[in-house]
Chain A
Amino acid sequence: MTSSSLKYSKDNTDKRLDYNSLRQLKEEAYKNLKKRVLKDDAIGINENGTFYLKGDYYEKQLRIALRNCGIIDPGNIEDSIATDGYKALADLLENNVSGQQIVDDMTRANLRGRGGAGFNAGRKWAEALSHEAPHKYIVCNADEGDPGAFMDRSILELDPHSVLEGMAIAGYAIGADKGFIYVRAEYPLAVRNLKIAINQAMEKGLLGDNILGSNFSFSIELRLGAGAFVCGEATALIESIEGHRGMPRNKIFRTAHKGLFQMPTVLNNVETLANVHMIMLNGVDWFRSIGTKDSPGTKVFSVVGKVLNAGLVEVPMGTPLTSIIYDISGGIKNNKKLKAVQTGGPSGGCIPASLVESTTVDFECLESLGSIMGSGGMVVMDEDDCMVDIARFFMEFTVEESCGKCTPCRVGNKRILETLDRITQGQGSEKDLPYLKELSEVIRDTSLCGLGQAATNPVLSTLRYFENEYISHVKNKRCMAKVCRNLLIYFVGEGCIGCGLCKINCPVKCIEGERKIRHIIDPEKCIKCGTCMEKCPVHAITLS
């Protein structure tokens, strides 16, 4: 045992790369990858030798953060090296580029935080660099919690090394020696692939002590989130890593000044870190040439809902919303009409169809419409969606996920949800609407953390753009989209053949009628379960 473990450790040391052997390995690995890719119909090769995913859906996108997803084998570090993985880090180390230089470049690149807040990542790095401290930390926020969002998940599962390299570069720039990836435990494949990737990078000397033979040492550990949405909030995430209950801190200091264990901490999102490699390799000017002046680069969206092709879409910032929905995602399913697009996850806002035409996806435009970029969730809704119910649905999520610390988020959001519940059940009154608006605004303006501050966005934006739907719910007790069950009336039409199937199956016996004569539903007793409609053989029962 002793001799074999010794041998293993010797082998282990032998695998550590230096600058030259990394370059050699790249050549070799590239050949292997190319050989495999040539056999794969789904992957094409560009003139410059890089690879791309074939097909309209992918070719209409600009995939920078997702560059390797679906192309390389995430379980094999050599695939990553073949596509220039760790080259950016190696170049910086080999050329002794100063931390200040990297931070300046990053600041100029204006890579805005892809987690939602949109803060210039370089400025965070610069602040962390400016503070002297015995330890500094890089934390990767991989606690992607928005329902229906899977941008970060795809990067972690399919290209984990891009995140590791981004963290190492950030660590080198600010003088950190330790990184944490806070990843939600509900992503088991991401966790597995990250573990494999970290081990392989350690083995190759691309992480750990004296990376590539330089003086720079940087190690990364995983921390698994236990399923709290609020832990995606920076300070709650830090509390959680420290072993406390994940609740946001009262922000007296920026995390870049006093963050994890009260040390300067750079906390970046997965997608943000996946961009770092490309900025370092291709330069700031290249990055700034993509996207808009104030929002450079690309953004990954997870487009879901009533579109034909749901999936991840990466496009330059400033791309028209219509081009994402129609050109790339194939338009609305079943030839229905677009009603609204909700961006930014559960705390985003709903943009009505009338404004979708003129909307571009960048921080400024989305905010001006009362929505947010968020981490890139995009839910497309059609005429069958009730906007009051949509607002209720998202509030249900934030109420469930509130940490319970501050009053507006803990109690206020609950009261909003209760009011929306009443409205969708036909018990609302006109007085509810100004109250909803005032309370939503107070919650937005007074909550302790981002979760509470953005929680009422779905309510405020639907009140702003779809007030008529609210009014019809509270005044006429009607749901135009026919979603709110309690507001529906089941009606037996002239087509009824009097077969009695509806009457037999009705669980509350509210249908009457003689055989072969048109039946009648008592709307007072009806519980709107829909069984009669389902059972009617001639589709004579309709909703009104």
Chain B
Amino acid sequence: MIDFTINGIEASVEEGTTILDAAKKYNIHIPTLCHLKLHDLNVENASASCRVCMVEEEGKNKMIAACSTRVKKGMRIRTDSIRAIRTRRMMIELLLSDHPKDCLICPKNGKCELQNLAADAGIRSLRCEGERRVCTIDDDSFSIIRDMNKCILCKRCETMCNEVQTVGVLTDVGRGFHTVVGTVFDRPMHSTTCTFCGQCIAVCPTGALTEVDNTADVWDAISSDKTVIVQTAPAVRVALGEEFGMEPGTVVTGKMVTALKNMGFDYVYDTNFAADVTIVEEASEFADRFKNGGRLPILTSCCPSWIKFVEHNFKELIDIPSSCKSPHEMFGSLAKSYLAEKLGKKPEDIVVVSVMPCVAKKYEAQRPELGNSGNSDVDIVISTRELARMIVDSTQDFVNLPDSSFDRFMGQSTGAGTIFGSTGGVAEATLRTAYEFLTGEELKEVNFTALRGFEKIKETTVNIGGTQINVAVASGLGNARKLLNDVRDGIKQYHIIEIMACPGGCIDGGGQPYMHGNTEILTKRMNSIYNIDNKKHIRQSHKNPEVLQLYNEYLGEFYGEKAHKLLHTHFYADRSEI
């Protein structure tokens, strides 16, 4: 233990503790901006670049950055001296002097860490106004808007993009006052190898990185003559409540359905249903490859960001991912065929809206091959955050809304479809079905707990009909890269691999309510996902009655010809841009 004093208090912390963490222990709150520590995900941005957390060490001229300085024996730290207070204020003033002041119309209004910092510090005027950086806004992609005028160079996005995701699209460009976070040759995001995972958005403290807002498109569709169908992804229901001040992890499925119906959607369906269809197809594909000597491992393909990552980085493995479309694309495809028939509508008169925890799905929906006879499977994608804004727009008191149920034909789901929302869920759901497909026997224990949790790479071996099936799960593209390198180089052999681009899976998607560094929120969302699964009577996808009805009445065989046409796709090793 290291003894020191902080604001005159005799204190003691473990060796290696930063001043910031030590202060927390003694109920001292030092403001920070660039610093970000996501404990559970093992992610830290300690660039110490914003200098907002400066504190004074008595007897020393230089101030020290609390976020990245470790406590030393005998240090006498003051966070409350006039000098420390003035210095931190000056730092905030400097940041504001190079920042647009159009907060009222900023997408981050009310959720901006810089705004909160300025409000807490009570900044009323700036002594240091001057030139501001002027950058062109990059809003060319379908997913991410980069407004570098609002960037404070905290480097959180760079840490996510380069170190966590190893995508390597964002870096500092230029120097001195004109330094910006940019892309190679200042290209727009859509002509880089960006996977649109949106993790940069998830950590950006200001409005420099935000999602493309498609809410107006949804209102337009609702007010048109077309039949507007909405589907909601598994991870949305455990996070949406946060936007209305509810406890993180609160399951708000019923209220969400009510809200969507009130907003004017004609039908409200569940992506979890499509997740069950995905599992049936994917487990069949695995069984087929496994029995007939096809190439293994099979990689899950429900994460569009992950698919784009493979297309850019692992061209030699392009035939390994399952050819299954992602669940919401399967849903869209079925909505404009199977459901259209049931409802007596033409596919072109149907608009499919997806509510996703994700911003990559926005880009995915635009992939030209994902559609049939000129109709896109999915027309509009909005994030959890955008849905929350629309609920507020439509003057609904979300917290007090009654519960409703999803509509018939494509609204019923099993526990297996639910757990898609968390890392390891797709692999677990696949095993629950593949086991029975391959052995013809009933699976006694459907919980594969080794595949759950936030560990970077999880592995398990399952005995299926006498064969040891090796399963691996990775979340976060950096971890995926490691895993795939091992597979490519023959170091590891697996049968099934699940990968989610976002650390922790869809519950931590780039379109989810901001966590502001609090990863306990993530744990609560994950626990809720597994709680929903536990409470379901049916926990295996191939036992979903509505799924069975779909195959009986419309698709025919699992993994059959019609299913192939509607539910499977192909990938491109040479995809340049979308």
Contact = CB atoms under 8 A, between A and B. Distances in A.
Interface of A: 228, 245, 247, 250, 252, 399-408, 410-415, 418, 435, 438-439, 442, 445-448, 453
Nearest to B91: A407
A128 B325 CA distance: 56
A421 to B, nearest CB: 10
A261 B86 CA distance: 38
B51 A402 contact: no
Contacts of A447: 51
B127 interface: yes
Contacts of A410: 153, 176-177, 179
A446 B54 CA distance: 7
Contacts of B61: 445
Interface stretch (B101-109, B167-175, B236-244): B167-175
Given A245-B171, A404-B175, A250 B46 contact: yes
Contacts of B59: none
B29 interface: no
Interface of B: 46-52, 54, 61-63, 65, 68, 70, 86-87, 90-91, 94-95, 97-98, 127-128, 130-131, 152-153, 171-172, 174-179
A71 B91 CA distance: 53
A399 B177 contact: yes
A245 B49 CA distance: 15
Given A435-B127, A446-B62, A448-B51, 17 more contacts: A245-B172, A250-B46, A252-B70, A401-B175, A402-B177, A403-B179, A404-B177, A407-B51, A407-B52, A411-B95, A412-B128, A418-B131, A445-B61, A445-B63, A445-B87, A446-B63, A448-B49
A446 B87 contact: yes
**Most chain B beta-carbon contacts within 10 A, residue among A245, A400, A411, A445:** A411
B174 to A, nearest CB: 7
B180 to A, nearest CB: 8
A403 B173 CA distance: 10
Contact of B153 (A250, A399, A404, A446): A404
B202 to A, nearest CB: 23
A442 B62 CA distance: 9
Given A404-B175, A406-B51, A407-B49, A412 B153 contact: no
A411 B97 contact: yes
A122 to B, nearest CB: 24
Given A404-B175, A410-B177, A418 B47 contact: no
11 contacts: A245-B171, A404-B172, A405-B47, A405-B172, A406-B49, A411-B95, A411-B97, A415-B97, A438-B90, A445-B54, A445-B63
Contacts of B91: 407-408, 442, 446
Contacts, number: 104
> Which secondary structure characterizes the binding site on chain A?
helix
Given A250-B47, A435-B127, A442 B97 contact: no
A466 B171 CA distance: 42
Contact of A412 (B50, B70, B94): B94
Contact of A252 (B47, B68, B153, B172): B68
Contacts of B179: 403-405, 410
B48 A442 contact: no
B90 A402 contact: no
A413 B54 CA distance: 18
Contacts of A402: 175-177
B68 A407 contact: no
B184 to A, nearest CB: 13
Contacts of A453: 62
A447 B174 CA distance: 19
Contacts of B172: 245, 247, 404-405
B48 A414 contact: no
Lowest 10 A-B CB distances belong to which pairs? A404-B179, A402-B176, A250-B48, A411-B94, A418-B130, A414-B177, A415-B128, A445-B63, A442-B90, A446-B51
A253 to B, nearest CB: 10
A245 B162 CA distance: 13
Contacts of A405: 47, 49, 153, 172, 179
A227 to B, nearest CB: 10
B178 A404 contact: yes
B135 to A, nearest CB: 13
A408 B128 CA distance: 12
A411 B178 CA distance: 10
Given A245-B171, A415-B130, A448-B51, A400 B176 contact: yes
Contacts of B49: 405-407, 448
Contacts of A401: 175-176
Contacts of B94: 407-408, 411-412, 415
A402 B178 CA distance: 10
Contacts of B87: 442, 445-446
A323 to B, nearest CB: 31
B175 A399 contact: no
Nearest to A405: B49
B131 A414 contact: yes
B130 A445 contact: no
B175 A445 contact: no
Contacts of A408: 51, 91, 94
Nearest to B96: A411
A415 B95 CA distance: 11
Contacts of B47: 250, 405
B69 to A, nearest CB: 8
A226 to B, nearest CB: 11
Contacts of B131: 414, 418
A225 B222 CA distance: 59
Given A245-B172, A407-B91, A439-B128, A250 B68 contact: yes
